[in-house]
Structure 1
Amino acid sequence: MGPHSLPLAGLHVLVTGASGGIGAAIVERLVAEGAHPVIHYGRDRDKAEALLDRIGGKGWVVQADLLAADGPTALWTRAAAAAGRIHALVNNAGTRTEAGPESDLDRWQAVWKSEFQINLFAAADLCRAAIGHFRETGGGRIVNMASRAGQRGYAADAMPYGASKAALLNLTKSIARSFGADGVTAVAIAPGWVRTAMADDVIERFGKDAAVADIPIREMAEPSEVAELVAFVLRPSQRSLNGATLDVNGGSHIR
C-alpha cells in the first residue's frame, strides 16, 4: 500500500499527552496509517523528541502546560503554527490523583481543581479552538479520551477523576449534536484499565488478580488496542460514528 492510499494519509492530528503511554501508542499508530501527528508534551521534552525520532520525524513536537489557564489556547496556537491546517484533535491528556472524602479540605479541593483543569477544562478549551478552526477549513474530527469511570462511577478516593470524565462524555455528545452539520464530528473513547504506568502501580500495590478481578477477560487493554481504535475513528469514512462512545474495557462495564 502506497503512502497516499493509507487510511489517514495527509491528515494533521494534534494529540495531547502524547509523549508516553496511550498517547505515544496513538502517535505511532497514526503515522503507520499515514497521518502526521503534533506531539504535545507538558514537561518531558526528551521523551517527546525520542518519539518523534521513532516515527522518522513525520510530525511536530509542541509544549504546553495544561494546568495553566492559558495553556490549552497556547497549545493550539503553537500546533497550528507548526502544522498549518489541523484535521483532527485527540484529547488524550489526563490525570488521576487519589483524594477521598477523608482527605483534608485543602487537598480535596486542590485535586478536584487540578483534575477538572486537565481532564475537562483543557479539553474544552482545545475543543473550542478546534471547532472554530474546523468550521473555517472544511471540517474535522475530535476524539475525547474519556473513561469507564465516567459511565459507571468510580472509587471513593478517585471521584474527581470519574466526575471529570463524565463531563467530558457529555461535552462530546454536545459537540456532536451542535456542530455535525458544519462538518465537525466528535467521538468519545472510554477505556477501562489500560497497561500504562498508572495500571502497573495498581498491580504493584494490590497484585494482578485484584487489578483485573472485575474484567471478564481477566486482562487489561494494551495501549496499542486503544491506539488502533483512535486511528479507525479518525478515518474520513467514519463520519456516522459522530456522537458515539466506544468502550474498551474487556466487558467490565456493559451498557
Structure 2
Amino acid sequence: MSHVQNPPAATRHLHGQTVLVTGATGAIGNAIARALAASGARVLLHYARRAEEAKALAAEIGGGAVCFQADLADPTRPTALWEAAEAVAGRITGLVNNAGILGRVSVGDPFDAWQAVWARDIQVNLLAAADLSRAAIRHFRTHGGGRIVNIASRAAQGGYRGDAMPYGATKAALVNLTQSIAGSFGAEGITAVALAPGWVRTEMAEAYVAEHGEAAALSGIPIGRMAEPDEIAELVAFVLRPSQVSLSGAVLDVNGASKMR
C-alpha cells in the first residue's frame, strides 16, 4: 500500500510527536490516525478486534506506526496497553482516548442486563480512559509534559435518551475527568482537552439511521447534516499542536449547533 503523502514541512505541526490513539480502526479513530500522520506524528494504533484493518492502516500511514491489541472492557488491559506502547515507542507525547461504546438498556429490562450494560459502558468509556490518562500523566511528568485529548459527546450535556443513559453519563464523566486533569496538572506541562461531537457519520450513526431514519438523526441539527470523521480528526490534530497550550481545559462542541452553551 502507498503511504500517506507528506505535506510540506511548514504544515507538519506534529513532527517529532508520538501519539497513542485508542479505537483506531473505527471511523473516527481511523481519520484521527491519518490526520496525525499527515501532520508528522508517529501514531500508535490501538485496536480491539480488527487486527487486519489496524495493520493495513499502519502500513498505509507509515511514519513508524505500530499496532497494539487490547480489549478495554478488561480492566487490566488499559494500563497494559500503555506499557506496551511505551516499551516500543519510548517517549510518548500524546494520548487520544477515542475508543467508546454505546450500550442500549432501558429501565424495563431485567436487572442483570441493566447492570451489565452500565458496567461495560463505564469500563470502556470512562475507566479505560482514566487508567490510560493515569499512565500518561505519570509518563509525562518524567518526560517534560504531554497532551491528552478525550473524545466525549454532545450526550454529555443536558441528559441523554432513556435507552442509552449509561453512554451519556460516562461521556459527562469524561468531560469532568478532562477538566480535572487540566486543572490539576497544567503546571507540570500536561494539558487536556475534550471534544464533544454530535452525530458523526460512523457505524453507530448508520445503525441509528437504519432503525429510525435519517430525518430522526438530523432533527434538531441546524446545519442539516452529520459531521464527517475527518472534521473531528482535523480538530484533534489542531488541538495537539505544540502552540495550542491555552486550549487546556476546553470542551470543544462539534455538533452543528444542535447543542449550544
Q: Same fold (TM over 0.5)?
A: yes
> Secondary structure of the equivalent of 2:163?
helix
Between the two proteins, what is the percent identity of the paired residues? 59
* CA displacement at 1:10 relative to structure 2: 1.2
| Residue identity matched to 1:42 | A
- Corresponding residue of 2:142: 136
> Secondary structure of the equivalent of 1:107?
helix
| Residue identity matched to 2:128 | A
| Residue identity matched to 1:209 | A
CA RMSD for the aligned pairs? 1.1
Task: Please give the alpha-carbon distance, in whole angstroms, between the structure 1 residues aligned to 2:216 and 2:157.
Answer: 21
| Residue identity matched to 2:124 | I
- Corresponding residue of 1:19: 25
TM-score scaled by length of structure 2? 0.95
- Corresponding residue of 1:226: 232
Say yes or no: does 1:178 pair with 2:184.
yes
Match of 1:112 among 111, 118, 130: 118
Q: Which sections of structure 1, spanning at least 5 residues, go unmatched?
A: none
Task: Please give the alpha-carbon distance, in whole angstroms, between the structure 1 residues aligned to 2:133 and 2:164.
Answer: 25
Say yes or no: does 1:83 pair with 2:89.
yes
Say yes or no: does 1:59 pair with 2:68.
no
Match of 1:253 among 222, 235, 259: 259
Say yes or no: does 1:29 pair with 2:35.
yes
> Secondary structure of the equivalent of 1:152?
coil
Task: Please give the alpha-carbon distance, in whole angstroms, between the structure 2 residues aligned to 1:250 and 1:2.
Answer: 31
> Secondary structure of the equivalent of 2:157?
helix
Task: Please give the alpha-carbon distance, in whole angstroms, between the structure 2 residues aligned to 1:4 and 1:127.
Answer: 30
| Residue identity matched to 1:26 | I
Superposition misfits of 4+ residues, deviation over 2 angstroms:
1-5
Task: Please give the alpha-carbon distance, in whole angstroms, between the structure 1 residues aligned to 2:180 and 2:152.
Answer: 14
Task: Please give the alpha-carbon distance, in whole angstroms, between the structure 1 residues aligned to 2:60 and 2:52.
Answer: 12
Contact map agreement 2:82 2:135 (CA 8 A) in 1: yes
TM-score scaled by length of structure 1? 0.98
Deviations 1:63-112 (A, max 9, x none): 11111111001100111112110000000000001101111101100000
* CA displacement at 1:58 relative to structure 2: 3.3
Which structure 2 residues correspond to residues 152-167 of structure 1 after superposition, within 5 A?
Answer: 152-167=158-173
Aligned residues: 255
Q: Which sections of structure 2, spanning at least 5 residues, go unmatched?
A: 1-6
Contact map agreement 1:19 1:41 (CA 8 A) in 2: yes
> Secondary structure of the equivalent of 1:51?
helix
| Residue identity matched to 2:88 | A
| Residue identity matched to 1:210 | A
- Corresponding residue of 1:92: 98
Task: Please give the alpha-carbon distance, in whole angstroms, between the structure 1 residues aligned to 2:240 and 2:188.
Answer: 17
Task: Please give the alpha-carbon distance, in whole angstroms, between the structure 1 residues aligned to 2:111 and 2:224.
Answer: 37
Task: Please give the alpha-carbon distance, in whole angstroms, between the structure 2 residues aligned to 1:23 and 1:217.
Answer: 24
Contact map agreement 1:31 1:58 (CA 8 A) in 2: no
Task: Please give the alpha-carbon distance, in whole angstroms, between the structure 2 residues aligned to 1:113 and 1:229.
Answer: 30
